[in-house]
Amino acid sequence: MTLLNNWLDANQPDVFIISGDMTAGPEKSLNLLNQLQNSNLQIKIIFVHGNHDVYYGDSTQAYEILLKFPGNLGNGPIKLDDNWVVIGEGGWYDYTFGMKDYNAEHYALGTFGNFTWPDKTYANWPMDDQNLTDYYVEKIEKWLQEYEGKNIIMVTHYEGKNIIMVTHYEGIEIICNPLGYYPHEWNHSSPEKEIHSTIKVIVI
């Protein structure tokens, strides 16, 4: 949190967007989001949940807890000015980029050899993955239609085909710049450099 606050203090963006996975669990994530916003009152903090944020006995309840943060896009689009709007949702998996030769039954089990996908253990939704993905896609489609003609920044935690197809317009720029798992997905030796390297500045 200190490293992030240092970057925000030094760069002073008007808006700072977090595309999920603050922590493992909704209460911790909500607490950190509130701390970040309260420490940077002049900056609009915007958020969508990731899979880790909804690790909970009931992920629907976890989702509702995270909606308490005013900047959660699950509450609806956020207008930046008369021309620009931010639209998004956390989303879920449609398995577009899944493993070759894996079918729906394999994904439902969430296992590969002796490995069990953590989301199958810690995320607990009342519907299957594809129906949950469809739910989020429908919400995003509705909001995109409402703001047709505006300049849109769309945010999601997932990059599946169903989500990308929703924004299949000419001139779209897709940015995927995640903070990977430490240490095997890091490119820098220090946390400060790694975190700062994953922040993308957009001027509109």
pLDDT band (50, 70, 90) for residue 170: low
- Both tokens of residue 115? 């490995």
The pLDDT of residue 168 is 53
- pLDDT higher at 157 or 95: 157
User: Using only C-alpha atoms, what is the Rg of the chain?
Assistant: 17
Distances (CA, A) of 103 to 107, 130, 163: 6, 12, 20
* DSSP code per residue over 27-76: HHHHHHHHHHHHH-TTSEEEE---TGGGBSSSHHHHHHHHTTSTTBGGG-
Q: How far apart are CA 73 and CA 78, in angstroms?
A: 7
**Which residues are CB-contacts of 93 (< 8 A; sequence separation ≥ 6)?**
107, 129, 133, 158, 160
pLDDT band (50, 70, 90) for residue 171: confident
Q: How far apart are CA 93 and CA 133, in angstroms?
A: 6
Q: Does the pTM exceed 0.85?
A: yes
State the average pLDDT over residues 89-109: 83
The pLDDT of residue 84 is 97
Q: 15: buried, middle or exposed (CB in 10 Å: 19+, 13-18, 0-12)?
A: middle
Q: How far apart are CA 89 and CA 140, in angstroms?
A: 7
The pLDDT of residue 95 is 81
Least-confidence region, from 38-42, 111-115, 162-166: 162-166
pLDDT band (50, 70, 90) for residue 166: low
* Average pLDDT in the chain: 90
87 three-class SS: strand
Q: How far apart are CA 76 and CA 16, in angstroms?
A: 17
Determine contact, residues 36/5, Cβ cutoff 8 Å.
yes
Q: What is the pLDDT of residues 105-117, one digit of tens each?
A: 888 888 888 889 8
Distances (CA, A) of 90 to 56, 118, 164: 16, 18, 13
